[in-house]
Amino acid sequence: MKTLLKSTLIASFMLTPSLFANMAFDINDEIQKHKLIVDTKNKKVISTKALKLLDKVLSPFEDMTEYALANDISGMKKGYKNILSINESGILKQSVSADTYQKITSKIVQLKKDFNTHNNSNIALVSTELFESIVDDFKYATYIKNQLHIEKLDGMGFELLSRLTAKDIDYNHLYTSIANAKIDWIAIREGIHDKNAQEAFDLLLKGLAHASVKKDKEMIKILASMDLALVDVLEQQFK
């Protein structure tokens, strides 16, 4: 889901001989098969399939967050159906550990309750938490480490925007989230060849930290939206 803001910000910042049976997993294009065996001699193949799986399981939760932040009722209905669909397909369950999956399913139930009570703020936050839970416990993380760091930076933006909709904003929590995101940024920074993008994200995190200390809600909102745009730029650096 691309917004005009994201497009504008992006423009401004851009101046099988051996098989391994244990690595079977489903991806979008062959979801009915549920048994894609990857060739361990080609890590690029593994990474590509892992990326497709990650995108498949994360997209419904990212979309749901955006629908909730926009107070889009019809969008949230569609988003919830997509979340149920990805869960019923089985690929969500196989993407994370059993403990994480159990927590995810209970929160999916919570989403339905929040929708019925028109608690859009909590829908956005819970959807973001589900997004982050998948990223933190993705089974095939070994093959797409950089992408997961990028997804965590993406998750930070959504989390900040979601928490800003609360009646009582916990700025200490926001600061902690920003500090945690900085760790992920440091992990991939040297792999970013675009120096402008490097400097832009350095300034972004510095600005977010400063704004959270000053409890500047509007500035955090602007910078969090900028984060979502810049993450798209960073993602292109690893393709």
First to last CA, the chain: 20
**Cα 32 to Cα 35: distance, rounded to the nearest angstrom:** 9
Q: DSSP assignment, residue 19?
A: B
Phi, psi of 191 (to 5 degrees): -85, -5
The first and second tokens of residue 115, run together, are 């929708």
Please tell me the predicted confidence (pLDDT) of residue 12: 44
HSE-CB at 218 with a 13 A cutoff on CA atoms is 0
Mean pLDDT per 10-residue segment, the chain (239 residues): 44 36 39 41 79 96 98 97 96 96 96 95 97 97 95 98 96 97 96 92 98 98 97 84
Cα–Cα distances in angstroms (integers) from residue 238 to residues 50, 60, 101, 152, 171, in the given order: 15, 23, 29, 15, 32
pTM over 0.85: no
Q: Count the neighbouring beta carbons within 10 Å of the beta carbon of residue 194.
A: 15
Q: How far is CA 6 from the centre of its chain?
A: 15
Q: DSSP assignment, residue 90?
A: S
Cα–Cα distances in angstroms (integers) from residue 68 to residues 111, 127, 138, in the given order: 11, 9, 25
Please tell me the predicted confidence (pLDDT) of residue 43: 72
Please tell me the predicted confidence (pLDDT) of residue 10: 43
CB 151 within 8 A of CB 141: no
Please tell me the predicted confidence (pLDDT) of residue 41: 54
**Cα 25 to Cα 166: distance, rounded to the nearest angstrom:** 38
